[in-house]
Structure 1
Amino acid sequence: MKSNERKPRSRSVESISDVHKDFIQLNDMESDKEPQDQYSKQFSPHGNISMQEQPYSSVKDKETIKPIYIAGKNKDFEGRLNDGSLLTNVVLDEWIKDLDTATNHIAKSARNIVDCLEQVAYEGRRVDSHDMSRIVQPRDELLLHAEVAGCAGRELCRWASSIQQQQDQILNNRLAQTQNREATLTSEVRRLTEKLGRMEVDLELARKQLDEQQNESLKFNTVHESMESVKNHLQRQLRQRESECSRLSVQVRNLETRLAEQQAQNQARLETAEVSLERMRETKEALKRAAKSQKRRADEAEEAYREISHKLATQESIIAGFQTELENCALRSRGRSKERQLNDVGIMHDGGIVDSNKSMYANGDKSLREENLRLREVASKCEQRLHAAEEELQHLRTSLSTCEALLNDYHGDAAMQASRLHTLNERLKKTESDRERSQIQLDDVEQRLLEAEHRNRILEDALQSKESQKGDYVASTPVNTKQSSKLGECDQQLHLDREDYCGQNSQLNGSANIGILKDQNITGTTNNELIQELRRELCEAQNEKKQIENRTEIRLNDLRAQLNQADATNRSLQAYLTFLKRSYASVFQPDMLINPSLISPCQPIACSLTTQLTANNTLSKNTHRECV
């Protein structure tokens, strides 16, 4: 049932990774197809970001999206490229609102799935069909709103590309106007040179105009140099971002392979644990049957001992009666023998034998002899029965001593099992403390992830506010969206690792509790093999727990490194955004071509550009070292 729980979760992670891979592949394809002419884009501040927006518009016609209502989908951007209303932030707010709504639904569905799984793990039961139905509905909602978010992102990129086209037309118009003005100025210079011989009075004025033209040409040269430096810097930034994206994609693929290997190892361990659990259950049942049979034999022995004791007492009373009867018979026989001797003596003195009493004495003697024989037979039988009773009593005494020895052995085994139970309880307490420590570390990592998400939200709000003031910074939104999606993937991966670690801890606690129950049910002298088996399984469980803790520590370190890398990337993006704002403010001012006093700030821009390049290179080197 554990593997069935993990299947929807793994599918969601794979779907996110597939979307990320498709995005990278489309970026590579569109970057290969991009035209090489950069001179027409040197006046556009978004030339480096349109390359990232272009795949969304190119893939839009190939993808099939479910018929879901989206607020910004009904906007018509074709045919209205020259409309000034496109520069407003209404459409952008609608699409961002759709993205926020879809993200909230996705977070809610993921939270419902996690709550259901945590409830099942807390109750310690297996997942049934009702739980699966509770999990399937949030999963479907999650996938549905993920598609909605993707559709909204693509439409937003399409809107951005339309704005880019509009800006390109505006810049082309300005370029045409500038060229017309240059043609006018050249014609005027030619006319002045033709009139130079005729109008010597206006020579000084012509010289002044010539000086102005020279100053203007110097200004244009300076602006051209600054634009070339900005273009080179933007190209370097683009190459750096591409290398960083490729490195992140490699890291994501490595994490996915590592996760698959860890899932396979956990599945194998789960199967071995189930086999050992089944074997331990069979051993437990066998021990229960053996204990019941031993208890039954002990009860039968006690019952037989009571019966034999009762029989022995009865036989002793019978033997005592027979002994008294034998003594009485002996006394009677002695009295009769004395009477017979006296009678014989009297007859001998009388000098004759009375014939009438001869038959009487013969009959009496015969009866006495028969009585004597009968009494002797009874005495021999009583002696035989007494001897048999003594032998049976001796056998019962030996059986009783054996039962007492068995009871002493049982008491010793019970004391030993109690000591082992105490040891196992101490180990379980230690395991619980380690689990609490790991839980604290996981909470710390989650708190840091939440702080990173909060900082990302602040950066996104700042970007949106700047985009509402200046429509030229719309193209920087997909970068932050990509960073937010990467942080979301890290958060989901952390939740999955946390659930795996909790499931493994519960499995270890369950196996330890099963071992304790088995130790409590063992009562016999033939449990040495079972004790050795339990010790071996306990050692294996401890080793497995240590391995799981080590892997968890490694995973936490990786997540910390990724979190630090995300923070560094956010700082780099913020610095890059500040640099773009300063460059735009210093280069693309409307009165730049008229007011010559704006030429002087170009030198500080170049200085800030060099400083920003040095800072970005240092930051990229530090992040690369942290990842390595």
Structure 2
Amino acid sequence: MKDRSSTPPLHVHVDENTPVHVHIKKLPKPSATSSQNPPHCLEITPPSSEKLVSVLRLSDLSTEDDDSGHCKMNRYDKKIDSLMNAVGCLKSEVKMQKGERQMAKRFLEERKEELEEVAHELAETEHENTVLRHNIERMKEEKDFTILQKKHLQQEKECLMSKLVEAEMDGAAAAKQVMALKDTIGKLKTEKQMTCTDINTLTRQKELLLQKLSTFEETNRTLRDLLREQHCKEDSERLMEQQGALLKRLAEADSEKARLLLLLQDKDKEVEELLQEIQCEKAQAKTASELSKSMESMRGHLQAQLRSKEAENSRLCMQIKNLERSGNQHKAEVEAIMEQLKELKQKGDRDKESLKKAIRAQKERAEKSEEYAEQLHVQLADKDLYVAEALSTLESWRSRYNQVVKEKGDLELEIIVLNDRVTDLVNQQQTLEEKMREDRDSLVERLHRQTAEYSAFKLENERLKASFAPMEDKLNQAHLEVQQLKASVKNYEGMIDNYKSQVMKTRLEADEVAAQLERCDKENKILKDEMNKEIEAIEHQGDKLEMAREKHQASQKENKQLSLKVDELERKLEATSAQNIEFLQVIAKREEAIHQSQLRLEEKTRECGTLARQLESAIEDARRQVEQTKEHALSKERAAQNKILDLETQLSRTKTELSQLRRSRDDADRRYQSRLQDLKDRLEQSESTNRSMQNYVQFLKSSYANVFGDGPYSTFLTSSPIRSRSPPA
């Protein structure tokens, strides 16, 4: 009995708004039975709100683990969104960096193996996803089956609430009946004598109490069944909701996985396109390097030609200097000839006296002059041969000049072809720059600057080429002028030789005339002497006068003829001197022109040197710009590689987070199982409390039997259905 009294009170959990309190207490007796039977009580107290909330509310079905799982899923969604945004940004950056992927092939080859591993992992994950999909389909079918049962659950809830209300009402009625029975038993104890009415009332109250207790037990049993079913259904609903949430998460994960697969396919396509573009750019770089090599070779060829032209110019300058020296020598010779002419005039004045003697030797001198004329003819033939040789040299120089002109034309054609190639490369670069413009504005500005600088360099190159063409024309004109000057100098040399021959002839003629004058003077003197002698002898001889007169007239005629010849010779000398002066003036002008042409040649050579330096500097600047663009492209590729590595690290992090989420899901399942086990334990506790109530009822029966003895009450009690009832299992 003490053990029974030490059992915990019975708690029936019902709605908060309907408190139930049943208190049955036995009064102490002065007899021995009272000392042997301690008081017992049956308490049905309304539980606290906290206990009710902890047991019956549906909000307890959702755990904190669900909240943490939802938070993790939200974080995962946010991270996936950030990753998708990062992937979109990387897409745009990769599109913008299409023209700058020159060294990415090695990195891509290294990454191919990693991509294959990722593809293998994806295949494994796809297999797992297929298994999960089959499971999810099964769960969906079960879910579809349970959706139909939700209406039944609602109806069962309503039925449960009604049953709870009925149980409360039955409990209240049983409590009232127990109180009435308690009052009657108290009265019987005080009176100690029982009448038939008292016995009837007791039996009636006993029957009512038994009925109420039976109804209470039935309602309690139905409530326990309904509660058990409700808990099971709620657990199943909770599990289905969790399964639905997990299915949604798995569907979202599948969609994101499909999207990531599409992104990977797009990345693979972009990688293939980048590889193709890299190959195209490599081919273009090869062509550009070949063009640069050809340009360098052409530049070396042109420099060699310029050096050869400079050597030829130096040779021509040396030849011009030699011609100037020869011209100076001819000037000295002409001056010497003029001095000789002056001396000859003086000699002519001196030799007038010896003219008569020279007349005698005129025949001999005429013969000598004929021999000298033959020698002069021989010299003229030699001069003609020299002139023919000079003409042949001129023709050889002309042929060389024609070859140089042809080579220059070929070089100009090659330069035009190279310019066309350069323009094609510029057009290709402009197209690439336009693509880069569409991709990124900052790169567009840099490329615009580079194109502006390149166009400036191109304009400078064209301007230099344009200035180089007139300079070459001027050089050609200078070469032509030099050749013309050479030809004119040769012509002047021939004319000087002719004038020399004429001067020699005039010298001879002057010598002859001087000799004739001397002879005439001598003859005149002789005639004067003879005339004087004859005048003295006229008086004596008349015939001699006539002969003298005839002789005098003949001598006068000869003197007149000789004077006329002398005047003609003097005129010829004056004309030759004037011609020599004119030739000297023309030679001086030609020398000045040759000096100016030499100065022009020096200026042109300097300009050619400056142009060659400018071309070299422009080529070096272009090389530097190409190297800078290559370095910039390499830096961009390194940045892209770093970003790809970051993305890979982020993907690995997402994989780890997925594994953590799976672990958290498993933990949540374990926790749900533990909660189910707790609920089962609580049900067992409620069953144990019910057993304790039944034991207490048995105790009440035994106490009633002890009180009333073996009379009709005991028979009534023994025939009651409470004893025949077994406690529920």
Length-normalised TM-score, structure 2: 0.34
Q: Which has the larger radius of gyration?
A: 2
Greater RCO, 1 or 2 (C-alpha within 8 Å, sep 6+): 2
